[in-house]
Amino acid sequence: MEIAVLALQGAFAEHERMLDLLDVSHFEIRQKKDLERHFDGLILPGGESTVMKKLLLEMEMLVPLRDRIVSGLPVFGTCAGLILLAKEAEQGGHCLATMDIRVKRNAYGRQLGSFYTEEICGDLGRVPMTFIRAPYITKVYGDAEALAVVDGRIVAARQGKQLVTAFHPELTEDTRLHRYFLDSI
């Protein structure tokens, strides 16, 4: 199995560390020609979604990536990666727009922008959740379903082969969410 990690900006190295821990082969997508390599799944890391969107557009990768995801490419988006996949945003705008979720960016405000908690996520039981200037999901609709809720707010969801978390599992030592993603491939 080969996993591609979008490495334009943000916390991509931390996802690569998780894949190393799980002994899974991976490579970085840094430019359009990297999309020609074979990969079975894609990770969209945390970072700054507006910057990633701008780079994806400039480098002409947005449409090919969207087409692949719509055609069933398994994808795991964390934090900014979640924002990239959302079809709707409270503040307007969208990027890959492949998931039936509505997102609120920087949703916890400045003071509570970063925090740690543990909560149930799908069938995985309690998982550690590190939030950094995180979004949350204000609505799931269509084929999307919520996987985790913290303080009444949806912080993880899936839809077919798409998985998103508002938190950063790659910043913990817990590999279960990455394993869960890989098992879906």
Catalytic positions: 79, 168, 170
Q: Which residues in the 137-176 window bind ligand GLN by CB under 6 A? A: none
Select from 103, 95, 114 the least CA-distant residue to 50.
Answer: 95
Does 132 bind ligand GLN (CB under 6 A)? Our answer is: yes
Q: Which residues pair with 18 in a beta bridge?
A: none
Give the Cβ contact number of residue 51 at 10 Å. Answer: 13
How far apart are CB 105 and ligand GLN at their closest, in Å?
Answer: 4
Does 46 bind ligand GLN (CB under 6 A)? Our answer is: yes
Distance of alpha carbon 168 from alpha carbon 132, whole angstroms: 8
Q: Are the C-beta atoms of 53 and 82 separated by less than 8 Å? A: no
Does 54 bind ligand GLN (CB under 6 A)? Our answer is: no
Closer of 105 and 158 to ligand GLN (Cβ): 105
CA quadruple 25, 30, 99, 112: dihedral, nearest 10:
100
Q: Which residue among 30, 54, 68, 133 contacts ligand GLN (CB under 6 A)?
A: 133
Where along the sequence are the contacts to ligand GLN (CB under 6 A)? Answer: 46-49, 79-80, 83, 105-106, 132-133
